[in-house]
Amino acid sequence: AADVAIRFGKAQLEAGAHLPIVFDPSSSPDFIPAAFYRELVLPRVKRVFSALKQAGCEINWLHTAGPVETILSYYPSAGVNLANIDYCVSLSNAVETLPNTCLNGNIKPLSFVDGNSEEIAATAGGILNAMADRGGFILSSGCEIPPESKPENIVAMVSAASREPFDSF
């Protein structure tokens, strides 16, 4: 899988992509223990990110789904520059563990389907308020936005990110 990720990432870079994402939900602590991640996954993620950097990728972006608190401390040694943080992860914990890593995410993906635009705006505003002094944060879904999402919910997230100050929420 690491070899495929390297070939795919390089192909994306050669085609003009600026920032391929390594999307690795199966390495979630929901599926494998942190010790397995450290022993089996981490060396491969390091190899993928090293190869992508050598191919010209300036930022290594990783998404691992679920409650990743037990593996966040491995991200810097893996070469992660941008970490997608799922909704079930405390942003304050992520900030504490990864003080020099750009973070993105934290809105529950299914809220784009099940929620309403007011809820999305309130959640987005709360996240932006919490991260306002830190910098190095990109508001997004904590995982992929489902295709059946309500368009007005996506608009609410984008609108929230476009407003300043965020304390109006």
pLDDT at 140: 96
pLDDT at 31: 95
Alpha-carbon span 123 to 111, nearest angstrom: 10
Distance between start and end Cα atoms, the chain: 43
Alpha-carbon span 168 to 23, nearest angstrom: 34
Residue pointed to by tokens 């489902």: 146
pLDDT at 165: 53
Alpha-carbon span 62 to 98, nearest angstrom: 13
**Which stretches in the chain have pLDDT values below 70?**
164-169
pLDDT at 163: 75
pLDDT at 61: 97
Residue whose C-alpha is closest to residue 105's, from 61, 75, 49: 61
- Give the rounded percent of residues in the chain with a pLDDT score beyond 70: 96
Tell me: the pLDDT tens digits for 79-107?
999 999 999 999 999 999 999 999 999 99
pTM as predicted:
0.91
